[in-house]
Amino acid sequence: MEKVYLTKLAPNCGCAAKVGPGTLAGVLCGLPKFQDSHLLVGTETSDDAAVYKISDELAMIQTLDFFTPVADDPYDFGQIAAANALSDVYAMGGEPKTALNIVAFPKDMDTAILGEILKGGADKVLEAGAVLAGGHTIQDDTPKYGLSVTGFVHPDKFWKNYGAQTGDKLILTKPLGAGIINTAIKADLVSERAREAVLKSMKTLNKYACEILKKYTIHACTDITGFGLGGHGTEMAAGSDKTLVIDSQALPIFPDVEEYASMGLIPGGAYRNREFAAKTGYVSTAKLWLEDLVFDPQTSGGLLAAVPAEEADEILRELKELSLSCAVIGEVIDREKHTLLIR
């Protein structure tokens, strides 16, 4: 298999390649409105996936996610892309059941590389307990890979990205800084410890955090991906008609992120995420690099859950028993002028 540095083949890596949330909202608002009494979650709230009711006991979760290489090793890239796509089902409190591959691959590149990408994705689908059932491929100058995933959930028990209540604690189940570290990787400035830490986290399924959270009361949940904690947090706050208070000193962070952020290794997506949050208002008294971190686009990031304050410590204890780098990162308060307050 020829040696190819996959991350050098794309200007933006992973979820940092996503269209900005503000731009996306402007496009989607012009589309026709679909009405179906069985469609429990559509595009209106920018949630993680669609939910369609099949019966009184069963609803289908449907999602799709793919992106450009976020790792040079093709097997790692496949694992990360699959974990990221599967995450939307876990963010709704569901279980993945089937997955279809989505592939774009250069016609002149060694097909053994494609085989490793697909093997990485297949192994993650297997770990999730789902079934890989086919897919679609096209030729393209830039490699891209991901999954279309269908999951199941009870129609009365799925989680939404809104519904947070005043007094809730905010729990984040993975560290932040993936976009900044991936920018450092592209610039050949990353330390090995930072590279290994971010790769391990991006390849970790949110399945395990989801299984713990399902034991407790979840008022709102989303996964932190391309829109960053700030962007996804803004959607949760606006949808809940609340303000999220983020304690920047409590954020779980990958190694060396402060150094890279201070060097200006901030992906372009972070600025688009900041602009989106500014439309509904945010206030920050945090250090600049920590504010940048809040808006940093994550790839295969953790779950952000709004939970009753009295359950937060027990949830955190169980998550840490799984060696997840989780933390209580803030709280929910009554709506102020701003949807996001970063301290």
**CB-based contact 290:248 (threshold 8 Å):** yes
Interaxial angle between packed helices 288-295 and 228-240, expressed in degrees from 0 to 180 and rounded to the nearest 10: 70
**CB-based contact 48:63 (threshold 8 Å):** yes
- CA distance linking residue 241 with residue 306, whole number of Å: 13
Token pair of 254 as six digits: 């990958």
Kindly list the strands in the beta sheet with 169-172, ordered across the sheet, starting from the edge strand earlier in the chain: 220-223, 303-307, 169-172, 327-334, 242-246, 340-342, 282-284
- 15 is known as an active-site residue: yes
Catalytic residue, from 13, 15, 210, 326: name it.
Answer: 15
Reference 146, options 207, 211, 226, 222; nearest CA is 226
**CB-based contact 283:248 (threshold 8 Å):** no
- Active-site positions? 15
